[in-house]
Amino acid sequence: MDTAVTSVLQTSNKEQAGPAVKNLGKDEFLRLFTEQLKAQSPLNPMDSTGFTAQLAQFSSLEQLTNINTQLKDMVSYQGSLQNTMTTSLIGKQVKVVGNTVTLDKQADLSYSLPGAAAKVSVSIYDSAGALVRKEDMAGQTAGNHTITWDGKDQDGSAVPAGQYTFTVEAVDSNNTALATTTLTSGTVTGVSFENNVTYLSINGTTKVKLGDIMEVGGA
């Protein structure tokens, strides 16, 4: 190996911490290539085929480096864009996967049915898990549905305002259970980022993942 090339390799190795360099970057490659040109004999220049091959290798290396840089910039931009878009949800009305509801005189209970239902039952529970109210309804179509709870228990007495949970059970015309999805409605009051996961605060009490949003409405 040429003395100049050997010198470049030794210098490159000293500049890197840890074990000896196994893969050269584009800067080291260019330095080696330049030293080869400087060290070649005028009477016996580098073979044109080898010269062209090395130029092609350097071009490919630089293109890959540039692509890698662009991808990193793109990922960073997308992350910043998502954060900006997420904060714009503050103050918006949303529906997310969940089974909590905030009662203030009355409350809307939303859910989704995967198919037509012959019977639907909605059960509401207090913070202690005790059944407060149960509503049995006739057939409903597939899709999203919302019923309004008047804030009264099974005996018709008003219950305190606060947080409640609800479940929805449904069967089709063959009395086969349907996999219902309960939805929580509310206003986005805050956004947080934890371990690369974006969370929304709903009504200041419920925290849900951004990916659980099913519907976004107005302010």
Q: CATH number of the domain at 175, please.
A: 2.60.40.4070
Q: pLDDT tens per residue, the chain (219 residues)? A: 444 444 444 554 444 444 554 555 566 766 776 776 666 666 565 555 665 666 666 667 667 766 776 666 555 444 455 556 677 888 888 888 889 888 988 999 999 999 999 999 999 999 999 999 999 998 899 999 999 999 999 999 999 999 999 999 999 999 999 999 999 888 888 888 877 788 888 877 778 887 888 888 765
Return the structure tokens found at 81: 């864009």
197-202/100-103 β-pairing: unpaired
193: containing domain: 93-216
Q: How far is 62 from 68, CA to CA, in rounded Å?
A: 10
The answer to whether 219 touches 93, Cβ cutoff 8 Å, is yes
Are residues 197 and 99 located together in one domain of the fold? yes
Taking Cα atoms as reference points, which of 214, 216, 132, 203 lies closest to residue 166? 132
The C-alpha R_g of the chain, in whole angstroms, comes to 33
Are residues 31 and 118 located together in one domain of the fold? no
Are residues 26 and 129 located together in one domain of the fold? no
Are residues 78 and 102 located together in one domain of the fold? no
Q: How far is 219 from 211, CA to CA, in rounded Å?
A: 20
Quote the pTM value.
Answer: 0.56
Domain boundary among 53, 87, 121: 87
Are residues 166 and 201 located together in one domain of the fold? yes
Domain boundary among 87, 113, 134: 87
